[in-house]
Amino acid sequence: MVGLFGWTWLAFLAALVLPYRLAVPLTVGVSALAAVALWYPCRRAWPGWRPLEGGRSGWVLWGLTSLGVTALLGTLFWTHSLPADSTGVYTAGATWGDFGLHAAIISHLAVFDRMPMDLPVASGAHLTYPFLVDLLSALYLREGWSLHLSLLLPGVLLALAICQLLLSVSLRLFGHVGAAVSGLVLFLLTGSAAGLPVAYADWRHGGQSLLGFLSHLPRDYTVLSAENGDVTNLVTDALLPQRAILFGFGVALTVLVLLHAARNTGERRYLLLGGVLIGLLPMAHPHTFITCGAVLVAFTVEAVLRQRRVPWSHLAAAGIALALAAPQLAWQQLANGGGTGGRFRLGWMVGGGESIWAFWWTNFGLTGILFITLPLLLLRPAWRHYLVWYLPFLGILAVTQVYAFQPFEYDNLKMIYYAYLMAGLFAGFLAVQAYRASRWSLVLLLPAALVVAVPGALSLTHEFQMRYQFADTADVALAGWVRANTAPDDVFIGTDRPTEPVATLGGRSIILGYRGWLFNFNLPYAQREAAVSAALQGRVDDPMVRRFAPGYLFVAANEDKSWTIDRNSLARLPVAYHNAEWTVYRLAAAR
């Protein structure tokens, strides 16, 4: 995790001042020298091995869990990471929409000779999206890998690293393989609590056998629009589509490992390295930066209470984190003038007229009870030292219920997932303690675990059953023409399809990307809409169009009916490219 994250950061810094052909070899060289410099002084000091509780059975449980998670995530990442065949490009689920943005950023970064800092789905706007993991894929794409492999390999490696780091954090805290595996399973099966009764009602009304129902699930039972269930599954709606969170979760878990080592050994270096990783997070995943910052604050306060003196090492780590993060945060807030659009929002996504208690029960259910009761359980003298590990995550959960960090408040879920992460680890620990006290506790533990986990399990099952076309052969042909016949900095104007091929596969900037993205980036887009409307009606010399200086207009044979298209006026424009689905018109700004 540190290798991929650190290497990508170095590559980004080098590519800001050097062309890729120099920046990438320089990054490889610097990384190799740093690795040797870190290894050489301790080359004879082999790390000690700690026995795994349970001996051979513990290793077997870890191995089987790792194999199962690898098969699950490997299959999903392979099928979702835009694989191509003779009929087009494919994906599934939430990845269909989100990969429209990620593919556009990756393709755009890859076609230039050096790092561009503009947002390809809103030509003229600055790139403030946490793009670091997309830069890693862009460098692979630039060196000749397919888009599929460029998305797949870092995605699956980071996802599997997250799972192993989560097991590691649990083992360091609780020392029990069963607790670690239970926590990982609960975390991967996160989902809206109302998913189970909704699924049961659909099965009873569908007239199918249980096996027939499970083989053809009608929907994702963690995405519940009618019931306002918004806690979607971690794998299907975060690890797969939201690529930035791959660096986020991985670095956060690495920071927890370092904080645990610092707390147990008292060695300052672990804290300082944790501060460096936290400070580098905003360009990778700002929500994780906020979460890790809260954890570091909690550990600093705990150090004051425990040591009864100023914790200079903690303050130094916090200072490093703030110094590294400040220019990134300033860029993200100020580059486009509108900030991130945060605002107070009581109840997270509670609907108008909806009871806040009913909303929380719909979304959190039994896990919500665990959120609230865990601090009381941890007040036991033998467990009190665990409070510092849980309270900052409970605080993060509380903040997400009163403040939305972006215009689309759903994105608070990127921080709420961390409350699920730590609550899941503690649930595994408490389950082991209960089982040790009495095996009869399984009578209560297993039904409770099923109630919590079934919605997430159904979401994963449904994800395996879906296959969406991301681009057809006409889209692929258009993207090929764009790459071969236009310059990397040419600007295109057209409608705001999430998967339109000019940006996603061609790597060119467009004036109006999907408006849901622009809304959530807090970018005004009324003038961009007006420019597209004027261009589609043939008024390509309209001042609103000329403001953005597009070189080409792309129009599909079947555009959304919300757009008015004057095809007679468009027929007067010179055609640069045409196929069965797309027509590209050359405008005055074209070279």
State the Cα–Cα distance between residues 132 and 5, nearest whole angstrom: 8
Question: Are 232 and 217 a contacting pair, CB within 8 Å?
Answer: no
CA distances from 588 to 117, 245, 246, 495, 503 (A): 25, 41, 42, 19, 20
> What amino acid occupies position 289?
F
Sign of the alpha-carbon torsion through 57, 59, 63, 69? positive
State the Cα–Cα distance between residues 238 and 58, nearest whole angstrom: 29
Residue matched to tokens 């990307």: 513
For 461-494, give the secondary structure using H, E and C. HHHHCCCEEEEEHHHHHHHHHHHHHCCCCCEEEC
Burial 72-94 (b: 16+ CB within 10 A, else e): bbeebbebbbbbeeeeebbbbbb
**pLDDT, position 210:** 94
Residue matched to tokens 């909690």: 298
509-510/491-493 β-pairing: parallel
Closest CA to 282 of 128, 392, 143: 128
Each residue's pLDDT expressed in tens, for the chain with a length of 591 residues: 999 999 999 999 999 999 999 999 999 999 999 999 988 888 777 777 777 877 788 899 999 999 999 999 999 999 999 999 999 999 999 999 999 999 999 999 999 999 999 999 999 999 999 999 999 999 999 999 999 999 999 999 999 999 999 999 999 999 999 999 999 999 999 999 999 999 999 999 988 999 999 999 999 999 999 999 999 999 999 999 999 999 999 999 999 999 999 999 989 999 999 999 999 999 999 999 999 999 999 999 999 998 889 999 999 999 999 999 999 999 998 888 878 888 999 999 999 889 999 999 999 999 999 999 999 999 999 999 999 999 999 999 999 999 999 999 999 999 999 999 999 999 999 999 999 999 999 999 999 999 999 999 999 999 999 999 999 999 999 999 999 999 999 999 999 999 999 999 999 999 999 999 999 999 999 999 999 999 999 999 999 999 999 999 999 999 999 999 999 999 999 999 999 999 999 998 766
pLDDT in tens, 332-347: 988 888 788 889 999 9
Largest CA distance in the chain: 82
Q: How far apart are the first and last CA of the chain?
A: 43
Give the angle subtended at the CA of 193 by the CAs of 291 and 456, to the nearest 5°: 75
- Residue 557: how many other CB atoms lie within 10 Å: 12
Question: Are 240 and 94 a contacting pair, CB within 8 Å?
Answer: yes
Which DSSP letter does residue 558 get? S
Question: Are 236 and 417 a contacting pair, CB within 8 Å?
Answer: no
Q: How many CA atoms lie within 13 A of 221 on its CB side?
A: 29
Tell me the H-state helices in 266-386.
268-279, 286-307, 312-334, 356-363, 365-377
pTM of the complete model beyond 0.85: yes
Sign of the alpha-carbon torsion through 211, 212, 213, 215? positive
State the Cα–Cα distance between residues 575 and 65, nearest whole angstrom: 57
State the Cα–Cα distance between residues 463 and 93, nearest whole angstrom: 7
Question: Are 426 and 386 a contacting pair, CB within 8 Å?
Answer: yes
Could you give phi then psi for residue 18, rounded to 5 degrees?
-130, 155
**pLDDT, position 591:** 67
Starting from the edge strand earliest in sequence, which strands make up the sheet with 84-85, in order? 84-85, 88-91, 468-472
- In the three-class reduction of DSSP (H, G, I as helix; E, B as strand; rest coil), residue 36 is classed as helix
